[in-house]
């Protein structure tokens, strides 16, 4: 049963990439394929990042331990789509020129925070294995708290690049605020419980 669930989640997470690839190969991404690829890859990265953070409260509320085994897969897929987002940007908008990238990072704050989010996600992806978890021990949990600023930067990136329509960005900000707020509330509740024990 667990393998079936993991396999289903894996396939569902891969489907957006399959659709993007199909659209690119068949020239069916609309009048601006590059912009469409940027939009879709970025959206799926932030969606999967939200789902990654949703795992812990869901497991807390339902008691389903299998959810914890989905967290690493969801996080890696979030990083995967963030990498696609960056690669499309480098290929179509930067031309792989370091000086142009540097100029964009300096002149466009929304690109700076988006790049910062990806940089913060990189060590999380590299240390996502059980072997790294055993090696780092308690430091593993401390390191993986980088997901919180990565999520904040991703929301700011989306908000700042939005022009007239900020509704989508505000919706993601609300979702991440709830997810991070729940963690803060739970930590405070634990501290109060320990103090009164």
Tell me the backbone φ, ψ of residue 29, rounded to 5 degrees. Answer: -100, 10
Number of Cβ atoms within 10 Å of the Cβ of 75: 23
pLDDT tens by residue, 134-168: 999 889 999 999 999 999 999 999 999 887 789 99
Contacts by 56-60, CB closer than 8 A, 24 or more apart: 56/183, 57/179, 57/182, 60/186
Q: What are the CA-CA distances from residue 78 to residues 96, 117, 135, 140, 154 (Å)?
A: 23, 11, 24, 19, 11
pLDDT of residue 4: 86
CA angle 94, 78, 54 (to 5 degrees): 145
Whole-model pTM?
0.93
**Cα-trace Rg, the chain:** 18
For tokens 């929304």, the residue is 110
Residue ranges in the chain modelled with pLDDT below 70? 195-197
């Amino acid at each position: 049963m667990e393998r079936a669930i993991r396999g289903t989640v894996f396939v569902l997470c891969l489907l957006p990439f399959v659709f993007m690839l199909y659209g690119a190969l068949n020239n069916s991404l609309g009048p601006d394929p590059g912009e469409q690829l940027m939009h879709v890859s970025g959206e799926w990265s932030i969606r999967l990042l939200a789902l990654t953070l949703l795992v812990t409260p869901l497991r807390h509320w339902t008691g389903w331990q299998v959810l914890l085994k989905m967290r690493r897969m969801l996080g890696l897929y979030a990083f995967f789509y963030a990498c696609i987002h960056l690669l499309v940007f480098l290929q179509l908008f930067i031309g792989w020129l370091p000086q142009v990238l540097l100029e964009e990072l300096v002149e466009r704050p929304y690109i700076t925070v988006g790049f910062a989010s990806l940089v913060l996600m990189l060590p999380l992806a590299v240390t996502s294995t059980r072997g790294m978890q055993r090696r780092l021990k308690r430091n593993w949990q401390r390191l993986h708290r980088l997901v919180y600023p990565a999520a904040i930067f991703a929301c700011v990136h989306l908000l700042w690049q939005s022009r007239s329509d900020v509704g989508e960005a505000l919706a993601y900000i609300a979702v991440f605020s709830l997810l991070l707020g729940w963690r803060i509330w739970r930590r405070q509740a634990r501290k109060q419980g320990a103090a009164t024990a």
